[in-house]
């Protein structure tokens, strides 16, 4: 999930640990191609000035920087000092000159001029009022500019034939997110959110990771790290214990069950939505 967020009133359920930052980097390797397709179809291109909200470790901002090129500019904003520090360090190590990162809430910040686009990945799901957040963020965009967001939907998670260990962890993870106040079906709620924000009906696209093993193993490893991050919340809400989850053997158990039945594992729905103001 997440490439960092604008914090909700309940706080960011996935936290700001070093392990979480590393998870986000690994996640980007698998998810960036999907985000890139959404952004390109939405119209993000050379020479644009882009605001990336909830930048976190900076992966989405770096992707956008590639799309806008040296003639463009990307400004990444996040509320977490640790995340901004990591993003700034990565930008320096990459010698990327068309990108900068700032600490703050982009809904309330003042910039020297409007942006050609505002973008975000896995951001709106963590807002207590996604439509209101989107409305405020869209105000940072010039007339005719682009508003594009990539969100997930936990409803996509499934296996067929059923893989019991995987299906159980999916239920535990989604319940932990839901009880914390996260919108676990944000992807399919993007249409209503854009309309409620006064932006009109967005163009939408859906992709999802899907496959059997060993093809699906990298995604399964990423899923394990997500469950590891959510484990404290599972325990706090008494959804599952550490022994029940058994992180160390989780991927092995799921793999054995999937291989026995020749199962296909389906990941979260990945939904992109965009409009021009």
The predicted-structure confidence for 188-201, as pLDDT tens digits, reads as follows 999 999 999 999 99
Mean pLDDT of 201-216: 95
Task: Give the per-residue pLDDT at 4.
Answer: 38
Mean pLDDT of 199-217: 95
How sure is the predictor about 16, in pLDDT bands with cuts at 50, 70 and 90?
Answer: low
Task: Give the per-residue pLDDT at 27.
Answer: 84
How sure is the predictor about 142, in pLDDT bands with cuts at 50, 70 and 90?
Answer: very high
Beta-carbon contacts of 151 under 8 Å, excluding residues fewer than 6 positions away, are: 121, 122, 123, 124, 125, 186, 187, 190, 271, 273
CATH number of the structural domain 18-276: 3.40.50.150
Mean pLDDT of 245-258: 97
Cα(159)–Cα(222) distance, integer angstroms? 16
What angle, 0 to 180 degrees and rounded to 10, lies between the N-to-C axes of helices 59-68 and 81-94?
40
| 146 burial level (CB within 10 Å; 0-12, 13-18, 19+) | buried
How sure is the predictor about 217, in pLDDT bands with cuts at 50, 70 and 90?
Answer: very high
Quick one: which of 78, 31, 32, 89 has its CA closest to 54?
78
Q: Are 267 and 209 in contact (CB under 8 A)?
A: yes
Cα(60)–Cα(69) distance, integer angstroms? 14
Q: Are 55 and 106 in contact (CB under 8 A)?
A: no
What's the pLDDT tens digit per position in 52-78?
Answer: 999 989 999 999 999 999 999 999 999
Residue with tokens 């919108």: 183
Opening angle at CA 124, ends 174 and 188, nearest 5? 65
Task: Give the per-residue pLDDT at 8.
Answer: 40
Q: Structure pTM?
A: 0.92
Mean pLDDT of 174-185: 95
Mean pLDDT of 257-262: 96
Cα(49)–Cα(137) distance, integer angstroms? 15
Task: Give the per-residue pLDDT at 23.
Answer: 80
Cα(151)–Cα(191) distance, integer angstroms? 11
């Amino acid at each position: 999930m997440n490439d960092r967020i604008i914090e909700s009133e309940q706080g960011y359920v996935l936290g700001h640990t070093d392990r979480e930052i590393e998870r986000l980097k690994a996640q980007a390797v698998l998810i960036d191609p999907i985000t890139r397709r959404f952004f390109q179809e939405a119209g993000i291109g050379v020479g644009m000035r882009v605001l990336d909200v909830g930048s976190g470790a900076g992966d989405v901002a770096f992707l956008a920087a590639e799309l806008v090129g040296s003639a463009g500019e990307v400004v990444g904003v996040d509320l977490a000092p640790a995340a901004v520090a990591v993003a700034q360090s990565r930008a320096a190590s990459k010698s990327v000159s068309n990108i900068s990162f700032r600490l703050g809430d982009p809904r309330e910040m003042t910039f020297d001029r409007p942006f050609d686009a505002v973008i975000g990945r896995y951001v709106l799901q963590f807002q207590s009022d996604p439509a209101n957040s989107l409305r405020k963020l869209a105000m940072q965009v010039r007339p005719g500019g682009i508003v594009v967001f990539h969100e997930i939907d936990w409803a996509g998670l499934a296996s067929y034939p059923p893989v019991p260990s995987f299906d159980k962890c999916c239920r535990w993870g989604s319940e932990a997110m839901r009880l914390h106040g996260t919108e676990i079906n944000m992807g399919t709620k993007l249409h209503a959110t854009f309309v409620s924000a006064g932006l009109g009906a967005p163009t939408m696209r859906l992709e999802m990771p899907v496959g059997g093993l060993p093809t699906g193993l990298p995604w399964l490893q990423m899923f394990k790290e997500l469950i590891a991050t959510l484990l404290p919340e599972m325990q706090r809400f008494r959804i599952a214990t550490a022994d029940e989850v058994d992180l160390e053997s989780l991927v092995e158990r799921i793999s054995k069950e999937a291989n026995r039945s020749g199962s296909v594992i389906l990941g979260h729905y990945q939904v992109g939505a965009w409009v021009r103001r």
